[in-house]
Chain A
Amino acid sequence: MAQGELHKERHVAVIFPHPDDESFVAAGTIALLSQNGIPITYICGTLGEMGRRMGNPILANRETLPQLRKKELDKACAILGIEDVRLLGLRDKTLEFEDETWLISKISNLLKEIQPSLVITFYPGHAIHPDHDALAYAVVKALARFPAETRPGVWCQAISHQRIEALGQPDVVIDIRAVADKKIAAMKAHLSQTKEMMKELEQKIAAEEPEALRWVQYEEFWTYRV
């Protein structure tokens, strides 16, 4: 896919369960969209309450972590140009245990209100974390309720080991080199979660390791057929 096609979007809904998922998966794409003046709504399921990383040095405890991650989320959204954030107020690691019908309705109602032309989320069944999969399934099931002619497109991120074998190569490739600095800044905004990782990643980028470079050059997605 040519990068120019991002210009065609009218409104994009990004749907992930944890603060930082948006930066890991789609920071570059989001930054490009917002640079093009396309409004973005981030529907964020939880505040990552159950994260194990408390920062190094320790910045939070089990009770203060959600407030810290909310601040980090706000910072990342400011960097990426996301002005509309909807918090679902769910609890980290519990999404798969929620009433699925209720969750689908909740997402469906939000999407009816937002009327996006494109939705970005994880690929259901290929997202490793149970929260990722549970929310992604709810998203595609919510979209199935839309009439085909008004249904937004869906780009999904697959991170399972068997993704290529199961899904083939990603069909959407976004060149994010122009906004690589924003992707790095957004990831760093999630300080409690990413500090160690970013130190390592930046060294690898400086050393021009191909895998690390790709991280700041391209974002890839699979189109989901609802």
Chain B
Amino acid sequence: MKPIITVQVQAFLNQYKNKDLFLHLETTSGTYAAQQYEKRVVPGAYIRNGLIRYQQGKIKGNGPYRVGLKMKLGWIYAEGLTHFEINHQGRLLLAGYDSVGNLTVALQLSEEPFEL
């Protein structure tokens, strides 16, 4: 993955408007975070292969970036995104890394389901 180039991400988001897409969205602090910082509440969420369709998708911010997808009946967004890749399968992979290189957030879109 490489640091986000917003024009490339935006071009992808434009191209995949109004198509059925599979979504991978996660946020994580890592399973051991609660152990390291006792009594801290450690949130995280994960969706793999949610089937979505958006009418409008945008990348915003000056880095880290935010991506928002407007759907007919709702919204999807992720923040803290720093890196991206459009892989050999034509999938958009977006990720956020913290200061030591650990993944904190991922938002990915694909026309085919992600592998389980």
Among candidates A58, A91, A129, residue contacting B32 with C-beta atoms closer than 8 Å: A129
A56-B101 in contact (CB<8A)? yes
Write the A51-73 contact mask toward B (1 if CB under 8 angstroms, else 0).
01111111001110010000000
B93-A61 in contact (CB<8A)? yes
Instruction: Give CA–CA (A93, B32) in the complex, Å.
Output: 12
Among candidates A50, A57, A66, A128, residue contacting B28 with C-beta atoms closer than 8 Å: A50
Among candidates B30, B103, B108, B115, residue contacting A54 with C-beta atoms closer than 8 Å: B103
B24-A58 in contact (CB<8A)? no
A-B contact count (CB 8 A): 55
Residues of B within 8 A of A128 (CB): 31-32, 35
Is B73 an interface position by the 8 A CB rule? no
Residues of A within 8 A of B93 (CB): 61-63
A54-B97 in contact (CB<8A)? yes
B46-A53 in contact (CB<8A)? no
Write the A68-104 contact mask toward B (1 if CB under 8 angstroms, else 0).
0000000000000000000000010100000000000
Instruction: Give CA–CA (A129, B36) in the complex, Å.
Output: 12
Q: A128-B31, A128-B35 are known contacts. Are A52 and B95 too (CB-CB below 8 A)?
A: no
Q: A58-B1, A61-B85, A128-B35 are known contacts. Are A196 and B95 too (CB-CB below 8 A)?
A: no
Q: Which residue of B lies closest to A60 (CB)?
A: B1
How close is A118's CB to chain B, nearest CB, in angstroms? 28
Is A130 an interface position by the 8 A CB rule? yes
B103-A52 in contact (CB<8A)? yes
Instruction: Give CA–CA (A52, B1) in the complex, Å.
Output: 14
How close is B105's CB to chain A, nearest CB, in angstroms? 10
Q: A52-B30, A130-B31 are known contacts. Are A63 and B87 too (CB-CB below 8 A)?
A: yes
Within 8 A of A (CB), among B61-111: 83, 85, 87, 91, 93, 95, 97, 100-104, 106, 108
Residues of B within 8 A of A61 (CB): 1, 85, 87, 93, 95
Write the B11-28 contact mask toward A (1 if CB under 8 angstroms, else 0).
000000000000010101
Beyond known contacts A58-B1, A63-B115, A130-B31: 12 more, CB 8 A cutoff: A50-B26, A50-B28, A61-B93, A62-B24, A62-B26, A62-B106, A63-B91, A63-B93, A63-B108, A93-B31, A93-B46, A196-B100
* B contact residues vs A (CB 8 Å cutoff): 1, 24, 26, 28, 30-32, 35, 46, 83, 85, 87, 91, 93, 95, 97, 100-104, 106, 108, 114-116
